[in-house]
Amino acid sequence: VEETLVLVKPDGVARNLIGEILRRIETKGYQLVDIKLFEPERSLLAAHYEEHEGKPFYEPLIEFMESGPVLAVRVAGNRVIEGFRSLAGTTDPSTAAPGTIRGDLGRDWGLKVQQNLVHGSDSPESAARELALWFS
């Protein structure tokens, strides 16, 4: 069965949305295989976001991800990588579809696209790489 890495980002933890986000994952039928709440080191975040290094939003993104605890979840299910991306909605909460985590719970904070509550791996290769980083 397929596995993906889900992160509840610092905005989701600070806004007490862990339960609501995990409820959506569980009611979809996915299994929570492993879970941990902690403040990630910069080295972990740099490895996680290495594809974005050099982009204008990179530093603000890393600083935001360092701003408080993050919930990391190993989630298993049939086609869960694509399925969780669909549950999460598109990157920018301002335009994410209703019914999605970002569309229903995300705030319209203009340029602060990084505050979009969750992360989900975007391919089997990313999932394997990211799960090894966060659950080594």
Q: Which residues are annotated as a binding site for ATP?
A: 9, 57, 85, 91, 102, 116
Q: Write out the binding residues.
A: 9, 57, 85, 91, 102, 116
Half-sphere exposure in the Cβ direction for 34 (13 Å, CA):
10
Site string for Mg ion, 101-130 (x = CB under 5 A): ---------------------x--------
Give the count of alpha carbons within 13 A of 70, CB side only. 24
Among 105, 119, 130, 134, binds ligand GTP (CB under 6 A): 119
SS3 of residue 4 by DSSP: strand
The reply to whether 122 sits near ligand GTP by the rule CB under 6 A is yes
Residue among 118, 134, 121 at smallest CA distance from 18: 118
User: What one-character-per-residue DSSP string does 81-121 give?
Assistant: HHHHHHHH--S-TTTPPTTSHHHHH----TT-TT--SEEE-
Residue 93 touches which of ligand GTP, Mg ion, none (CB < 5 to 8 A by kind)? none
**Binders in 49-88 for ligand GTP, by CB under 6 A:** 57, 60-61
Nearer to Mg ion, 20 or 122 (CB): 122
Which are the contacts of 121, defined by CB distance < 8 A and separation ≥ 6? 4, 5, 81, 127, 130, 131
Residue 48 is a catalytic residue: no
In the bound complex, what is the minimum distance in angstroms from residue 122's beta carbon to ligand GTP? 5
Q: Are 88 and 75 in contact (CB under 8 A)?
A: no
Question: Which of the residues 72, 75, 119, 131 is marked catalytic?
Answer: 119
- Residues forming the site for ligand GTP (CB under 6 A): 57, 60-61, 91, 113-114, 116, 119-120, 122
